[in-house]
Structure 1
Amino acid sequence: MRFASQDWVLSWALLLLLSCTTYSSTAMGKPENNIKTDVFLSPKFELGPGSVVNKDYLDVDFPRGHVAIKSFNAEVVDESGKSVSLQEVYLHHWLVVKYHQPKNVSHNNSTDNIVPVRNSGFCQGDTLGQYYGLGSETRGTDTDVPDPFGVEIGNPSEIPHGYEEKWFINVHAIDTRGVEDRSGCTECRCELYNVTKDGDGKPLSPYYRGGLDCCPDNSQCRLKKGFKGPKRSFYLKYTVKWVNWDKYVVPLKIYIIDVTDVLNKSKGMSPEHTCKVEYEVEPCNKGYNSSACIDVKRTSLPMKTGGYVIYGVGHQHAGAIGSTLYGQDGKVICSSIAKYGNGTEAGNEKGYVVGMSTCYPKPGTVKIRDGETLTLEVIYNSNERHTGVMGLFYFLVAEHLPH
């Protein structure tokens, strides 16, 4: 099997060709007439120059009943509903998580007896259990699911007796107005936030230069001397498309693979997945040709139950080149390439990842076998150091095709 690190220019040219010839950039098929669309707002959050919000909002508005989700996307807007540029408020990530809670809970924000409901991905515990989630690339990334497929929610048979299905949203956003180092703030460099301990109060490793531990909720990135600006109010606006569930909808399973996942096989028949979620890209040796400065990280993981791939997309941060999911025989399952903006308007911000290409293989053409080992390869530009980067891959799988 040949990976991009061996001859990255040729390899990525081939991957781009594959993604253009094998996959479509838009959902396949005509949308059904009964697709419903609604736009919701998260609770309001406030940000001042250099400040950070990283909050969970429980029991948010969401489609109710037994339905199939066809699309989910989100962005930050101001109080007037106007899209906010990443150059002002950087959307580090947003996550949408399903959970069950007893019906007799008296108030919406209670965490009493919450039972999170994970996706089908490999990471364990409370790591990467979301149903949906993206970051700065959210406006420019397709999320539509082709007919007759959908992500099933609200199935009464899957909700424990006496419980109800609810959703919470996590929003991690950074106001970069007036900051001393904008890219350093968005990459959560510890020295810019003056953070030395993690969320549990334990000292951070001297080798940990930046990441989620250094930009927690209510933290502050260093501002230019004398800069002052007002606090502003924002919302996460999320748009959901869905159809009522019926026998013609084919259910999809959500998988998320993390390139930092290390499989502990010493656990015998139930190996443990350790997902660190983020990592650091070391700067390239200055003696190298800058065009060859790439950081390649990969992991290989067995997929217990396979199926047909219907959709795929990578999630990366600034410095991203792209990511590819390979099958066991080296075939490309999906290649997702980073798109950068070249302007100032929302959705086209220069220097930011504003979209990731997506894969929509013709249903039935890309199948993962039961027990097949998948390899995820993630590539970043390493001309400079990048802290707190991510290498996640989302893909939707149908265990069977429509008759």
Structure 2
Amino acid sequence: MEQKVFIKYFSGTMSRGTRGIVFLLAIALLAICAQNTQARVTLENGVKSKVYLSPKIALHQGSVANKYYYDMEFPKGHIAIKSFNAEVVDEEGNPVSLKETYLHHWVAARYYQRKGIKEPKHYGNLGFQQSDHIPAGNAGVCNSASGLSQFFGLGSETRKTSTHVPDPYGIEVGNPLEIPSGYEEKWLLNVHAIDTRGVVDAMGCTECRCSLYNVTVDEYGQPFKPNYAGGLYCCYDETQCKVKNGLESVKRNVYMKYTVTWVDWSESIIPVKIYIFDVTDSWQYTGIHDCLIEFDVEQSTTNECMDTRRSKSSFPIAGDVVYGVAHLHSGGIGSALYGEDGRVICSSRAIYGEGNEAGDESGYIVGMTTCYPKPGSIKIANGEVLTLESNYSSQKSHIGVMGLFYILVAESSTTLGSPVQIHQESKVPIFFWGVAAFGLAIFAAIVVAYRRRRQNGDGYHSIAT
């Protein structure tokens, strides 16, 4: 009621021209507020955070989406990434269960794109074979042709796996001195999701068994190698896993929701580099880091019931380990990275769900334990030969599994300094500043209108300029 009276008085006391000016000012201010509200950037103790959504991913029972989204939304400028978290949600923003949509993997990769060219219009794998696009991957150790160049990436374990980079460290991106002349930094998001609603064999579909997908060639039309039973080559984009007879098709749209936290770059931040190891790496036999990414686990014929794989890699720098985590598929038990003297650099164990809710799905890996060594306590020497060990249950066979290990390393040339000094910005949301400005504008307009009314009533006239 009071609001209606105020509006009536406000309208009655202003001239038509004044009302028009204030109306336009109000629209402009509300537009600014709306834009900043939609951006959803939050600020806490100098750490910024923003939530993004991928384009819509349409799925029906048994279908596969393996999408590549170029120029994905990502924080701009010279910054230090502090975490990158992701999950699959429905159109209402609710988490989607792995028992309905299995997240095989997601990865976020950086690249440089020549300025002035058109963005890729398709959502397929561009491959970066053109001079207009230059990959800007992690620090290794697998060669670039292996496809393990991502900065961030997980799978079904994404909801319960910590990705936070501790202070005073950060993953440096957006450094203008590192971007090639004539190019700009961009990001690619790859999402591989498998809809398992109504399928005849959910675990078989998530392991991409070729017999369930009824395919004999890969997405480029090339026939599979002999004895290839399943893996990424069988569940490419728009393939279909076998569903139960008589099932009515029900489509659903899902999204990859990802949250990035970061701080503005400063000299007090110690940069860390990302290294990815693969248990299929052939370096110890060939001297080349040829990483195959996938392997199969045969069902055990003994009472041991555990399949153990190992690979060795020569580490290219000397540095301190800041963070570590493994990536495994269903059936995985855990992985560990060992130094040349046998010391444990990091051990990461699979966490299985025990229920039906999203984030606690029984039979699925819903998280991986992580390592956060005390700064300076875990060191790797330049050229040190590391051993990666991955353990899987072999009570039954598993197809197309992975044994990857991520670590963040600060080079030994960098020294621990004082804690990161963060510029303390105002914690008051921009939206409220906009509302305050809008209120001041209305108040000013009322005062001006009231004074003009008084002047006109007293016989006074404003002086024309």
The amino acid that maps onto 1:167 is W
**Which one of 253, 256, 259 corresponds to residue 239 of structure 1?**
259
How do residues 320-339 of structure 1 correspond to structure 2 at under 5 angstroms? Answer: 320-339=332-351
Structure 1 portions without partners, runs of 5+? 1-30
Q: Is the 8 A contact 1:363 1:401 kept in 2?
A: no
- The root-mean-square deviation of aligned C-alpha atoms, in Å, is 1.4
**Which one of 182, 187, 203 corresponds to residue 167 of structure 1?**
187
1:284 paired with 2:297, answer no
The amino acid that maps onto 2:407 is F
**Which one of 94, 100, 109 corresponds to residue 82 of structure 1?**
94
1:106 equivalent in structure 2: 118
1:10 equivalent in structure 2: none
How many angstroms apart in 2 are the aligned matches of 1:205 and 1:105? 38
Write out per-residue CA displacement over residues 314-365 of structure 1, whole angstroms, 9 at most, x where no aligned residue.
Answer: 0000001000000000000000000000111110000000000000000000
How many angstroms apart in 1 are the aligned matches of 2:190 and 2:404? 17
1:20 equivalent in structure 2: none
The amino acid that maps onto 2:209 is R
2:3 equivalent in structure 1: none
Write out per-residue CA displacement over residues 60-94 of structure 1, whole angstroms, 9 at most, x where no aligned residue.
Answer: 10010000000001000011111000000000000
How many angstroms apart in 1 are the aligned matches of 2:159 and 2:318? 30
Q: Is the 8 A contact 2:70 2:119 kept in 1?
A: no
Q: Is the 8 A contact 1:341 1:353 kept in 2?
A: yes
The amino acid that maps onto 2:295 is Y
Secondary structure of residue in 2 paired with 1:137: helix
- State the percentage of identical aligned residues: 57
Q: Is the 8 A contact 2:158 2:367 kept in 1?
A: yes
How many angstroms apart in 1 are the aligned matches of 2:121 and 2:288? 32
How do residues 23-102 of structure 1 correspond to structure 2 at under 5 angstroms? Answer: 33-102=45-114
Secondary structure of residue in 1 paired with 2:103: strand
Secondary structure of residue in 2 paired with 1:139: helix
1:116 equivalent in structure 2: 135
Secondary structure of residue in 2 paired with 1:237: strand
How far apart are residue 229 of structure 1 and its match?
Answer: 3.0
How many angstroms apart in 2 are the aligned matches of 1:178 and 1:198? 24
How far apart are residue 32 of structure 1 and its match?
Answer: 7.5
The amino acid that maps onto 1:129 is S
1:402 paired with 2:394, answer no
How far apart are residue 106 of structure 1 and its match?
Answer: 3.1
Q: Is the 8 A contact 1:67 1:154 kept in 2?
A: yes
How many angstroms apart in 1 are the aligned matches of 2:106 and 2:285? 32
How do residues 361-376 of structure 1 correspond to structure 2 at under 5 angstroms? Answer: 361-376=373-388
How many angstroms apart in 2 are the aligned matches of 1:263 and 1:200? 28
How many angstroms apart in 2 are the aligned matches of 1:94 and 1:384? 26
Q: Is the 8 A contact 1:90 1:186 kept in 2?
A: yes
Q: Is the 8 A contact 1:90 1:173 kept in 2?
A: yes
Q: Is the 8 A contact 2:284 2:311 kept in 1?
A: no
How many angstroms apart in 2 are the aligned matches of 1:238 and 1:173? 15
2:354 equivalent in structure 1: 342
Q: Is the 8 A contact 2:284 2:313 kept in 1?
A: no
1:273 equivalent in structure 2: 289
How many angstroms apart in 2 are the aligned matches of 1:108 and 1:33? 38
**Which one of 153, 167, 171 corresponds to residue 151 of structure 1?**
171
Q: Is the 8 A contact 1:49 1:231 kept in 2?
A: yes
Secondary structure of residue in 2 paired with 1:191: helix
How many angstroms apart in 2 are the aligned matches of 1:150 and 1:137? 23
The amino acid that maps onto 2:85 is N
Secondary structure of residue in 2 paired with 1:158: coil
2:198 equivalent in structure 1: 178
Secondary structure of residue in 2 paired with 1:138: helix
Q: Is the 8 A contact 1:264 1:274 kept in 2?
A: no
* The 10-residue stretch of structure 1 (42-51 or 256-265) with the greater mean CA deviation from structure 2: 256-265
Structure 2 portions without partners, runs of 5+? 1-42, 418-465
Q: Which aligned runs of 4 or more in structure 1 are off by greater than 4 angstroms?
A: none
Q: Is the 8 A contact 1:73 1:138 kept in 2?
A: yes
How many angstroms apart in 1 are the aligned matches of 2:338 and 2:288? 22
Q: Is the 8 A contact 1:322 1:338 kept in 2?
A: yes
1:200 equivalent in structure 2: 220
The amino acid that maps onto 1:249 is I
How many angstroms apart in 1 are the aligned matches of 2:316 and 2:250? 52
Q: Which structure has more strand as a fraction of its residues?
A: 1
Q: TM-score, length-normalised on structure 2?
A: 0.77
Q: TM-score, length-normalised on structure 1?
A: 0.88
Secondary structure of residue in 2 paired with 1:212: coil
The amino acid that maps onto 1:355 is G
Secondary structure of residue in 2 paired with 1:94: strand
Aligned residues: 365
How many angstroms apart in 1 are the aligned matches of 2:191 and 2:346? 28
Bigger CA radius of gyration = 2
The amino acid that maps onto 1:385 is S
How far apart are residue 378 of structure 1 and its match?
Answer: 0.1
